[in-house]
Chains A and B, each alone.
Chain A
Amino acid sequence: MALVQLKNVSLKYHTLEGEITALESINLSVEPEEFVSIVGPSGCGKSTLLSLVAGLLQPTTGEILIGGEPVRGPSAKVGYMLQQDYLYEWRTILDNALLGLEIRGTKTPETVAEVKQMLQDYGLGGFESYYPHQLSGGMRQRVALIRTLAIQPEVLLLDEPFSALDYQNRLAVGEEVVRILRERRKTVIMVTHDIPEAVSMANRVIVMTPRPGTIQSEHRIAMSSAGLTPLQTREHPAFRKYFTAIWKELNVYA
């Protein structure tokens, strides 16, 4: 059964100038452990879609189910990674990683120990009492990932999570994040405008139309499903075919 289901979801914004339909009749099912990327022209509502799944916004019509239950607000089943790490500069690395547990009231010696173990496992051992500005961009992004994983979400929502990193780091951090998420058997929905990034990481790429955002097409990516890492996928002969097909679809709107 699908872990995340969007059924006929629409969203309208109201401003003094009028009414804007941001998303229209979105139907999407995401299977457990699937990695779905959503690409689309800017302003198509792809980030809004993540806010809906995260429970930060309520759809105007339609329904969103996670594990069969309707989303009514932010839930511990869902972890959200934003465009930048947004680490709090007044907290140490450990305290930043513990933020979600603190807010959810689930900070116990056991969960703290788990977070410390994750910091250790992902190359941040010994940095627990450092402050964010003392870390590199890639390390900060890993802290943000650990902060998200700490609440043990089943579904991760990634909103252009590598856009703040330079190209060199973006590939390295992307490779690492995908490895971690696969290891932990997480279900992922990632929004990006970077087609190669979408193709290299996802099992499935969803292409959206401009506003009002609807789903235009989907592409199943064979390489990720076969267990190739993002960098291996980028070297695969089929990579360019996927890229060109998606690029052409999006280029209609450019």
Chain B
Amino acid sequence: MSIVSQFSRFVAGSFRLVRRGNAAYWAWLAFLAVLIVSGALAFARQVSEGLVVTAMRDQVSWGFYIGNFTFLVGVAAAAVVLVIPAYIYDWKPIREIVIYGELLAVSAILMCLLFVLVDIGRPDRFWHLIPGLGHLNFPRSILAWDVLVLNIYFAINFVVVTHIVYRAFNGRHYDTRIVAPLVLLSIPMAVGIHTVTAFLFNGLAARPYWNSSILAPQFLASAFCSGPAILLILFQVLRRFTRFEIQDQAISKIAELMAYAMFLTLFLHGAEAFKEYYSDTQHLLYTRYWFSGLGEHRTLVPYAWTAVALNLSAFLLFIIPAGRRHWVTLNLGCLATYAGCYIDKGMGLIIPGLTPDALGEIYEYVPSLTELRVAAGVFALGFLVFTLMLKVAVPISLGEFQHEPAAGEAH
């Protein structure tokens, strides 16, 4: 049997899986579709009129899009790094947990790339970044590094999940010689993508708020909070609605790890805040803009303290063993972690980095409706891809859905 017909049967099988679902499933898809269409319309307007429809200006030249990009790189990185505890605690066959982390990574990277695409002024010229076809300023530009590592990471994860699911579909075990090295490679790559993304900001001496060597460790620590937060919720959903099994003990262990990661995040933030406030140089301006505002410019202050409160309460919920055992506090903690990190690393990183601008001007950036719609569309697209991939991968990897040669030949 040729590979082509085998693969087309896999694709056909996947379609069959995707088309099966209850009302909640279809409602979820419809909801995502609405957001995607709305985002696409907003993006079309942005392309025709220019980025003037965003709230970004010369003073604050990056905003909501790049903030989301940065946050999602963290999600993509952490989803895979979660594989490490799977090794350490050896609680389940590695394959099941790897797959969900990598599916999340694939969707998150997809969203990252889309956020870059919607942010650039000339998306029609994206091919200028493709080595050979265009010109990638490697190794001088850290953005060139980021383009490379993100795409490689995307490819690795995509190959691994496709391979595992495809093999499972055909009733065969995955090829360890392919999967093991790729999974092992994806761990340093996960650290790599986030480090490179941190360096993207870190390397700019023009922006003192970013030009701090603590940035990359801070990025990694907060990624270890937000990535698992999504996965923990996902595992509970899967456990509820599929035959997917995960022990309470494992969930509690991940939550415990999150508490340590959150402690590290808070500690690094504290170290940064101490240095800024105690040395009290001109560079304190940016931190002050975030935490207390500058004069009448106080737009971000509520967000700053909300993030602090969320992160602190998530830490407290998870450091107490009882807190991570009870499903209510567990999920509250996950939500608080996710929201706290999202504020901190999205808007909290980008906007104070650019406010006041290089010449001291304060322009208070608040994303425009177009930006919100486009961003929602990108998130919806990412979640759609994630949902559909889960829809295919879960039953196949649980062995519930397989190609049956006899049935296949009968056609």
Q: Do A and B come from one complex?
A: no
* Chain B residues near A (Cβ < 8 Å): none
